[in-house]
Structures are given as C-alpha cells and as structure tokens.
Amino acid sequence: MASKDPIVAPRVCDTTLRDGSHAMAHQFTPEQVRAIVSGLVDAGVPVIEVSHGDGLGGSSFQYGFSKVPEEQLLAAAADCIKDKKLAVLHIPGIGTKDELRMAASYGAKVARICTHVTEADICEQHIGLAKQLGMEVVGFLMLAHMVPPEKLVEQGKLMESYGADCVYVTDSAGAMTMHDMRERVQALREALRIEVGVHAHHNLALGVANTLEAIASGATQVDGTLCGLGAGAGNTPTEVLVAVLDKMGIQTGIDVEKTMDVAEDIVRPIMPRPQIIDRAGLSLGYYGVYSSFLLHTFRASEKYGVAVRDILKELGRLRVVGGQEDMIVDVAVELAKKQGKWPPRGQHYVQL
Amino acid sequence: MPKVKCAIIGSGNIGTDLMAKLLRSQWLELVYMVGIDPNSEGLARARELGIATTDQGIDAFLRDPKGAEIVFDATSAKAHRQHAPRLEQAGMIAIDLTPAKIGKFVVPPVNLGQHLEAKNVNLVSCGGQATVPIVAAINRVQPVKYAEIVATIASKSAGPGTRQNIDEFTQTTAAGLVEMGGAQKGKAIIVLNPAEPPILMRNTVYAMVDDPDQAAITRSIEEMVQRVQEYVPGYRLRTEPLFDGNKITVFVEVTGAGDYLPTYAGNLDIMTAAAVKVGEEFAKHLLSKRGELVAAR
C-alpha cells in the first residue's frame, strides 16, 4: 500500500478485560468489568473484548484460575455494552465449541479465534460454528514473529477459507521490529480479500509504533489495552494509540479525553504492578517468548531459586509456543538441579 | 499356540504402526488391513507382508472377514460411529482407537480385564492413555478433587484426525480422568508445537489433593509408571512429582518405539501399544473360554 494513499481509519478493539486479565492473574470482578466497559462505551470504543487471558475456558492450573466464573464477567459486560460489540477470545485446544455457544448466548458479537501461527487448520470447525452463531470472526495467528511472511500468508488463507472476516498479525511475544511488522502485514494485505488486523505488545517499546506501521501497511483492525495493562510488559496502550491517531488526523470515532480518563481513573488504581519494560519484559521480546509467561516465570523463579532471564532465555531457545506454561516449571526445575538448588521449599520427598 | 485372528480398519499412520506391533504378537494374528485410500502406504505395506487388503472399506471386509474376531478401528470418530453397530452385528469385538467413545474406556494398568465381555471398548485418547494412570495412582492414595492434563505434541505427529477432533480429544480425555482416573472433576488441554527437530510428546498432570502425603503418592506414581513401561518402554517421568501446597505436578514424556512412526510420535505409539495390550487380553480370554469348552466335552 503506497504511503501516499489516504489511511483508512482502523477499528479499535480494546482488550483490557482479556489481555489485561493476564496482568491481573485473572482476578477481574464483575464490578470492575462494568466500570471499564461503561467507560469504554462512553468513550466510543467500538469493540470490547472480555475473557480469561487464555480465552474462554482458560481458567485452569496451567494458566491460572479465574476469581469469578467467566459467565458472570460476560453477563456484567453484556449489561453495559449498549450498541458496542462484545468480543471474546477462543483458543481451540483450551476452550471448546461449547464455550463459543455460551459466549453467543451472552450476546458476544465477535469471536476472536486463535491458533499458533503454523496451526490454523485446528480451528476450521470453530470458525464455522462462530459464523453459524451469527458472530463476526477474527482469526489470530499467534507468535507471528516465529515464521516468515510466506508462512503467515499460507495460514491466513486457510482461516479466510474457513470463513474468517479478518486475520490478525499477532505479536504475542512483543518480539517484532517495525520492519518485521510491516512485511507481515503487507504480505497478508496483498494475499487476502478479507481485513487484516494487528495485535501488538510493548516488550520492545514498539507497541504504538508497530501498530502505526501496520495501519500504514493496510491493517484496518487494531488492538490496545487501557494503561497497556496486559501480558508481559503490556499491550499498545489504547489511550496513547487513540491520542496519536487523532494527532495524525485519523478519525477513529473515539474520544481521546474520555479514553484517558477511563485509563487513569478506573484502570490505573487497580493495577497490581506498573506495566514497565523491566529486564523480564524485555527478555520476552528479545528471546521471543509468549508474553503471558511473565507472572508464571516470576513465581517459578521465586519457588526454585533460578534467575528469571535464565528461564526465559531457555524457553526461547526451545521455541516454546503459547499455551505451554508448564514448560516454565520444567525448565526452572532442570536449571535448579543443574545449579545445585534442589529440593525446593515445600518438597519433602525426593528421589534417591 | 493358537492365535485369535484380527483385522485393522484404517490404513493411516496409526493403523500402519499397529500392524507392525501386531506382527510381533503371540496372541493375535493379523489377517486383514482395511482402508479406503488405494494409494495409502499402509495398504501397500500390508500387501508386501502377505496380509489381505481392501481399499473398499468395511463393506468389502464384512463380505469376507477371513475369520477375524477382533477388529481395531483406527479411522475417525465419525467413521467409527458407522462401523460400530455393523461390527457388533457381525459378532466381532471392536477396539476403538478413535475418540468416538461408544464402548467402555480401557486404560491397561487401571482396568484391563474388567470389560472382557464387552463388544466395544474405547482407548480414550493418547493423552488419556498417558495421564489416566498417573491420576489413578494418586487417587488410590488420596482423593483427587480436580485433575487437569496438558498434552503437548509435535505438529508433525498430529494428523488430520487429531486436527479435526480437537474438542473431542479434550472432552473425551477429561471424561477419562474422571471415570477412570477417579478425579471428581477433570480438564484436558492440547497444544501443538511445530519446533524442529520435532518435540517428544509430553503430558503434564496436575492434581488437586488436600494435604498430600508426598512419600506415599510418589511411590504410588512410580509403581504405576513401571506398569505402563511394560508395554510402552519409552514412557518416563521427567522429574519426580512436584508438590506445592495442594497442587501435585507430574511431567510425563513418551518416546515412541519407532515401529512405523518416528520416535517423537509417542502420542501415537502409546495408543497402538495400549491397543495391542488390550487386544491380547481379549484374545487370551477368548482362547481360555474355548479351552474350557473343550475340557468340558
């Protein structure tokens, strides 16, 4: 797409209540959901995603248990969503088609269905069902930095053939440079008839910049979270993105000051920790590790006495994919044994 | 020593690996390999080995089953639902390697020998075969309030059957954790990883147990692992069971035997190894019943 073409204003999807769930260890309450959804609706944000961080049905030992059953959070969101669209995230292998039906019953209008960037064919049935249920479907190709653009195109075409309305370049590890983002979005834009979207993380401080690159390359759907609340060092901050787009003359239909206010007054006070690019967050982006591993890695580091970066570097070397949180403990245990730090506290019985 | 004649329906990866294992069996004689794809490598291999084949599916098989009494179905859930009533009508015993879940679950070290009069038994799933024994081992010491498993397999070892049955895999496996593992509630997750070289199949088992007796549970798990290793030599724990409050974590890794499938496809190997073990028990049972009939004359 030539840089002289007028840029189409993208549709913003705020995922504070889904990606942000990772940063909250999935402890969102219905009251928080109501306050955040109402604030976003009032600001004019057109699509609002609510789910466990790992999608519908994600509450588990592996990813962390939700404080409150998902249905209650969806009900709270449905109460306040007015004319805006409720979106849900769905990862086949974690959630099933039953969860999609449940979400539709709560009025979810957009199903964002995710696979690892090379495995699109596991979601054919789920895309099909979502369409049958009358939902718009967005296909997420996760950890898109791990494969060249041609592979992304092959998988994006599969999702298009199953009925997806949009395919997202998903930078789950926040590992992409602006060049990486540009070439992937361009490749999809050239190959697909449907829309192309972008989900960026901030691990390399490139959340907003990568999103702008994607828009300039033809992305018409973009993600953000309030205060950047999200996995790893966080997401593209919605309030910052909206402010920058406004300065660039791109009309998203979203009120900048109202978005600033819901971020500062509703979200910032409930954040358990600030979304900063510390050594751990930077390591996720640098070694290409799925962002949601952050808090689990802190816990494993604490329990087994192994440095956070050592764990993340090894996970990157092993090319671990999203969903493999159990590998964090596996790696921490191996490193602890190698470093002579065995057994950990609480483990009384050991092999001889 | 007499053997019981058997057949395989499904000449894909699983069926072909199963064939290689059955040829070593002392109790089962493979007489028929049944498929629908004339170009399949499985049918070609069967022909080379002198085994009867057809590419016309179950119809051709049932017209002349060549004495097969036990039939292994390695097709798909949808196909097995069509096959099951026809096999039952023909008086054959069906061992189902798909997630169709028509018959009773069998996981050898847990309940082998319990359903020997059944006409149809189901092997749960590869994740189920790998993890139900662990959950059962914990539950026989102290009650498991909740069991959750995460099966991670190499993308290359996940064929179209798995990819189109992702939901069935998780639901059938979760049911296995409860019905056979003894957990009060169960959940199963599956993750595909495309890393090169392909990763070995791994299964993480989480069990929620109040105030776990670490020594007793560890010993119970170790004993169970040894029993699985009798028919799946490549089955092992990656580290001792981990204890963290009321959460027990067990990391299981399965290296395949490499009969037909590569060794990273432990998920497929554990299915075929379990299928042979189950088939042999049915064969021994049939032979002993006949032995008794002969003696009574």
Interior/surface letters A214-240, b for 16+ CB within 10 angstroms, e for the rest? bbbbbbbbbbbbbbbbbbbbbbbbbbb
Average pLDDT estimate for B117-128: 95
Q: Are B46 and B33 in contact (CB under 8 A)?
A: yes
Mutate to test the interface with A, among B150, B219, B249, B250 (most CBs of A within 10 A): B150
* Contact at CB, B194 and A320, closer than 8 angstroms: no
Check CB contact under 8 Å for A62 and B189: yes
Nearest CA in chain B to A303: B244
pLDDT class of B160 with cuts at 50, 70, 90: confident
Task: Give pLDDT tens digits for B231-270.
Answer: 999 999 999 999 999 999 999 999 999 988 899 999 889 9
Q: What is the CATH number of the domain that holds B256?
A: 3.30.360.10
State the nearest Cα–Cα gap between B212 and chain A, in angstroms: 11
Q: Are B155 and A118 in contact (CB under 8 A)?
A: yes
Q: A125 touching B, CB under 8 A?
A: yes
Rounded mean pLDDT of A291-302?
98
pLDDT at position B290 is 87
Q: What is the pLDDT of residues A23-81, one digit of tens each?
A: 999 999 999 999 999 999 999 999 999 999 999 999 999 999 999 999 999 999 999 99
Q: What percent of chain B has pLDDT over 90?
A: 88
- Residue A285 in domain: no
Q: What is the SS3 assignment for B150? A: strand
Mark whether A91 and A174 lie in a shared domain.
yes
Bridge-based pairing state of the strands B201-208 and B247-254 = antiparallel
Q: Is residue A147 part of a domain?
A: yes
Contact assignment for A92 to B167 by CB distance below 8 Å:
yes
Structure confidence by residue, pLDDT tens digits, B23-61 = 999 999 999 999 999 999 999 999 999 999 999 999 999
For A171-196, the DSSP string reads -TTS---HHHHHHHHHHHHHH-SSEE
Q: pLDDT digit string (tens) for A195-235?
A: 999 999 999 999 999 999 999 999 999 999 999 999 999 99
Residues B142 and B206 in one domain: yes
Residues of chain A positioned with their CB less than 8 A from the CB of B244 = 303, 346
Q: Which of A216, A236, A270 is the last residue of a domain?
A: A270
Which token pair is B21? 């294992």
For residues A259 and A297, membership in a common domain is answered with no
Per residue in A268-286, pLDDT (tens digit) is: 999 999 999 999 999 999 9
* Mean pLDDT value of segment A289-297: 98
How large is the average pLDDT for residues B213-238? 96
Domain C-terminal end among A237, A270, A303: A270
Regarding whether A195 and A133 lie in a shared domain, the answer is yes
pLDDT for res A246: 97
Whether B184 and B247 share a structural domain: yes
Q: What is the pLDDT of residue B101?
A: 87
C-alpha dist (Å) from residue B176 to A88, B134, B184: 29, 12, 11
Rounded to whole angstroms, the maximal C-alpha distance in chain B is 62
Residues B233 and B145 in one domain: yes
Do A313 and A252 sit in the same domain of this protein? no
What span, in angstroms and rounded, lies between the C-alpha atoms of A44 and B273? 58
Residue of A22, A145, A199, A201 marked catalytic? A22
**AA identity, residue B204:** T
Q: How many domains, chain B?
A: 2
Q: Do B148 and B230 fall into the same domain? A: yes
Task: With a cut of 80, say whether residue A1 has pLDDT above it.
Answer: no
Instruction: Tell me, yes or no, whether A102 and A199 share the same domain.
Output: yes
Same domain, B220 and B187: yes
Would A280 be classed as within a structural domain? no
Q: Are residues B74 and B188 in the same domain?
A: no
Residue among B106, B272, B137, B135 nearest B203 (CA):
B135
Q: Does B49 touch chain A (CB under 8 A)?
A: no
The pLDDT of residue A349 is above 80: no
Same domain flag for B152 and B111: no
Q: What is the pLDDT of residue A350?
A: 66
User: Does B168 touch chain A if contact means CB atoms closer than 8 Å?
Assistant: no
Provide the pLDDT for residue A212: 98
Chain centre to alpha carbon of residue B62: 24
pLDDT band at A5 (very low <50, low <70, confident <90, very high): low
Residues A305 and A161 in one domain: no
Q: A107 and A219: one domain?
A: yes
> What's the CA gap between B202 and B199, in Å, rounded?
8
pLDDT band per the 50, 70, 90 thresholds, residue B297: very low
Same domain, B179 and B106: no
Has residue A245 got a pLDDT over 80? yes
| Averaged pLDDT, B275-286 | 96
B292: confidence class by pLDDT, cuts 50, 70, 90: low
> Which candidate, A315, A33, A55, places its Cα nearest to that of A173?
A315
Sheet holding B28-34, edge to edge: B52-54, B28-34, B4-9, B70-73, B93-96, B120-122, B104-105
Q: How many domains does chain A have?
A: 2
Element of type H or E holding A169: strand A166-170
Cβ within 8 Å, pair A321-B193: yes
Q: Over 70: is that where the pLDDT of B100 sits?
A: yes
Are β-strands B242-244 and B247-254 bridged in parallel, bridged antiparallel, or unpaired?
A: antiparallel
**Cα torsion through A52, A228, B193, B268, rounded to 10:** -10
Query: Tell me, what's the ipTM?
Result: 0.96
Do A16 and A83 belong to one domain?
A: yes
B197 touches chain A (CB under 8 A): no
Both A318 and A173 in one domain: the answer is no
Domain match, A256 and A298 both:
no
Q: Looking at the structure, do residues B134 and B257 belong to the same domain, yes or no?
A: yes
- Name the residue type at position A50: V
Where helices occur in chain A by DSSP H, the ranges are 19-23, 30-43, 70-80, 97-105, 124-132, 149-162, 178-191, 207-216, 238-247, 256-261, 279-287, 293-304, 308-317, 326-338
Residues B179 and B111 in one domain: no
Which of B155, B167, B244 is the closest to A97 by Cβ?
A: B167
Query: What's the mean pLDDT in B58-67?
Result: 96
CB-CB under 8 Å, B242 with A333: yes
Tell me, what CATH number does A161's domain have?
3.20.20.70
Share of residues in chain B with pLDDT > 70 (%): 98
Contacts of B48 (CB under 8 A, 6+ apart): none
Contact A142, A154 (CB under 8 A): no
End-of-domain residue from the set A270, A305, A321: A270
Asked if the model's pLDDT at residue B199 lies above 70, the reply is yes
Query: Average pLDDT in the B1-19 region?
Result: 93
Residue A312 and residue A260 share a domain:
no
Checking if the pLDDT of B295 tops 70, the result is no
Q: Hey, what amino acid is at B130? A: A
User: Which CATH number goes with the domain that contains A331?
Assistant: 1.10.8.60
**CATH value at residue B71:** 3.40.50.720
CB-CB under 8 Å, A347 with B163: no
- Mean pLDDT estimate for chain A: 96
% of chain A with per-residue pLDDT over 90: 95
Domain region containing B143: 126-263
Question: Are A19 and A144 contained in the same domain?
Answer: yes
Whether the CB of A55 is below 8 Å from some CB of chain B: the reply is no
- Which position has the token pair 């629908």? B36
Q: What is the pLDDT of residues A123-153, one digit of tens each?
A: 999 999 999 999 999 999 999 999 999 999 9
* CA atoms of B95 and B119, how far apart (whole Å): 8
The answer to whether residues B172 and B289 belong to one domain is no
Quote the pLDDT of residue B296: 39
- Same domain assignment for residues B256 and B188: yes
Q: What's the pLDDT score for residue B211? A: 97
Reply yes or no on whether the pLDDT at A2 is more than 60.
Answer: no
Instruction: Give CA–CA dist B279/B116, Å, rounded.
Output: 10
Find, among B168, B73, B181, the residue nearest to B129 by Cα.
B181
* Residue range of the domain that includes A296: 292-338
**Domain-embedded: residue A128:** yes
Q: Is A294 helix (H, G, I), strand (E, B) or coil?
A: helix
B188-212: average pLDDT: 97
By Cβ distance, the residue of B160, B189, B244 closest to A346 is: B244
pTM of the model: 0.95
Q: Which residues pair with B214 in a beta bridge?
A: none
| Residues in chain B closer than 8 A to A320 (CB atoms) | 193, 195
Distance between CA atoms of residues A14 and A22, nearest Å: 15
DSSP category for residue A235: B
**Is B126 an annotated catalytic residue?**
yes
pLDDT of A259 above 80: yes
pLDDT of A124: 97
| Share of residues in chain A with pLDDT > 70 (%) | 97
